[in-house]
Amino acid sequence: MSATTDAQSLEPAAVRRRWRPRIDGRKRTSNWLSRVFFLATVSAVALLVLLLGVLFYRGWDWLSLDLLTQQYSRNAEGSGFQAAILGSIWLVAGAGILSFVIGVGTAIFLEEYAPRGPLTNFLQTNISNLSGVPSVVYGLLGLALFVEFMNIGRVLLAGALTMGLLILPIVIIASQEAIRNVPLGLRQAAYGVGATRWQVVRHHVLPAAMPGILTGTILAVSRAIGETAPLIVVGASAIIFRNPSGFFSDYTAMPVQIYQWTARPQEEFKDLAAAAIIVLMIVLLSMNGIAIYLRQRLGKDRW
C-alpha cells in the first residue's frame, strides 16, 4: 500500500462500520482537550494581566513623584515611601553581598573541591531543605539570633542578615549550576599547564561561570525585595519618617510599607498601596530584565 493511497477507502466496510466512529471520536476528544489545555495555560497569563490591570486601575491616580520623594504621613494624600525604597536598597545590598560571598564559596567547594561522597550528599540535602523553609521561620531565626542573642537590635543590619540567610540556598544552587556548566576541557587545559586547583578556579572556572552566577544572584535578590514576613518579624517598622542612615538605623522596606497601607481600612490607603506595588513591580521587572540581559549577553556561544 503506497503512502498516497487513501487508507480509509481501502477499509473493508465492516471494519469501517465497527471502528471508524470510535477512532473519529477519540480524535475529536483529543482535539477538544488540546484546546482546554491551551486555555489553562493562557489562563495563567490572563491572571497576570488581570493582576496588573487591578493594580493600575486602583493605583494609577496615586502614581506620582510624591511616592518617591515624600515620607510616610498620616494622610494618604501626598504620602510617599522614600524611606522604604532606600531601606529596600540597603537591605538588598547587604543581603546580596552576604549571600554572594558565602553562596559562591559554598558552590565552589561543592563543585570543585569536595570529593563526591556522604559529606557532599549531606551538604546538598541540607541546602535543598533550607530552600524549602518558610520565610517567616527565617524571621524567627533572625529575631532570636541577631536581634536578641547577638543584641544587634531592630536595625537594618538584622534585616539584611536575615534576608541574606533566606536567599543563600538560592544563590548556592544557581552558582553550582553555573559552575557545573563550565566544560571540563577548560579545567583540564589549565591543570595541564601546571595551574593549581585554586588557580584553575580563580582564573578559569569562575570567570566562565560568572554570568550564570550573577543571574542567579540577581534573581535571588529580587526575591528578597518582595519578602515581607521575615522583615516584619525582625522588626522593620512601617512608621518611619526618615531615610535609613546606615546598617544600624531604624528602617522600613517597600513591601512592609505596602502591607501596612493595605491593612488599613481606608480605601485611599489601599489605592496608595496599589501605586506603591507598581513601583515595586517596576523595580522587580527591571532587575529581572538585567538578569535576562546578562544571561543572553555574557553567556551566549562561549563554547
Partner 1 sequence: MTVRDIPASESGGRPPLDLSGSRNRSVSETAIGVILFLFAAFSVVTTIGIVVILLYEAALFFQDIALPKFLFGNTWTALFQDPEFGVLPLVRGTLMTTLIALFVAVPLGLMSAIYLSEYASPRMRSYLKPSLELLAGVPTIVYGYFALTFITPQLLQPLFPGVFQPLNAASAGIAMGIMILPMMASLSEDALRGVPNSLREAAYGLGATKLETSVRVVLPAAVSGIIAAFILSMSRAVGETMIVALASGARPANGWSPVEGMQTMTGYIMQVFTGDVVYGSVQFRSLYAVGLLLFLMTLAMNILSQWVARRFRKDYQ
Which residues inside 145-174 make contact with partner 1, applying CB under 8 A?
145, 148, 165, 168-169, 172
Nearer to partner 1, 203 or 246 (CB): 203
Taking the least distance from each CB to partner 1, the nearer of 46 and 68 is 46
Find out whether 235 and 143 touch, Cβ atoms under 8 Å. yes
d(C-alpha 235, C-alpha 159), whole Å? 8
- Indicate the DSSP class of residue 70: -
Applying CB under 8 A, the site for partner 1 has a residue count of: 81
What cell numbers appear for 268 in the block?
485611599
Return the closest-CA partner of residue 246 out of 164, 148, 171, 153: 153
Q: Which is nearer to partner 1, 246 or 254 (CB)?
A: 254
Choices 76-84, 205-213, 269-277, 293-301; region in contact with partner 1 by CB under 8 A: 269-277
Q: Which of 10, 15, 33, 150 binds partner 1 (CB under 8 A)?
A: 33
Choice between 70 and 237, CB closer to partner 1: 237
Q: Of all residues in the chain, what percent are helix, strand and coil, respectively (each to 5)?
A: 75, 0, 25
Determine which residue in the list 113, 241, 248, 293 makes contact with partner 1, applying CB under 8 A. 113
User: Which three three-digit cell numbers place residue 217?
Assistant: 544572584
Of residues 243-262, which lie at the interface with partner 1 (CB under 8 A)?
A: 255, 258-259, 262
Nearer to partner 1 by Cβ, of 13 and 44: the residue is 44
Residue 8 binds partner 1 (CB under 8 A): no
Query: What residues contact 91, with CB distance under 8 A and at least 6 apart?
Result: 156, 159, 160, 163, 224, 231, 251, 253
Structural contact between residues 54 and 266, judged by C-beta atoms closer than 8 angstroms? no
Instruction: By CB under 8 A, name the one of 20, 21, 38, 180 that touches partner 1.
Output: 38
CB 288 within 8 A of CB 219: yes
- Applying the rule CB under 8 A, the residues between 61 and 100 that interact with partner 1 are none
Instruction: List CB contacts of 262: < 8 A, sequence separation 6 or more.
Output: 269, 270, 273
Angle at 96 between CA 161 and CA 200, to 5 degrees: 120
- The CB-of-141 to partner 1 minimum distance in angstroms stands at 5
For partner 1, the closer CB: 239 or 245: 239
Instruction: Decide if 199 contacts 190 (C-beta within 8 A).
Output: yes
Instruction: Indicate whether 191 belongs to the interface with partner 1 (CB under 8 A).
Output: no
* Residue 7 touches partner 1, criterion: CB under 8 A: no
User: Is 175 a residue that touches partner 1 (CB under 8 A)?
Assistant: no
Q: Which stretch binds partner 1 (CB under 8 A): 47-55, 83-91, 183-191, 295-303?
A: 47-55
Judge whether 301 and 111 are in contact, CB under 8 Å: no
Does 106 interact with partner 1 (rule: CB under 8 A)?
yes
| Residue pointed to by grid coordinates 562561549 | 302
Figure out which of the listed residues 84, 178, 182, 225 binds partner 1, where binding follows CB under 8 A.
225
Residue in 5, 9, 30, 151 binding partner 1, rule: CB under 8 A: 30
Q: Which one, of 143, 137, 88, lies nearest residue 254 by Cα?
A: 88
Residue (48 or 189) nearer to partner 1, CB: 48
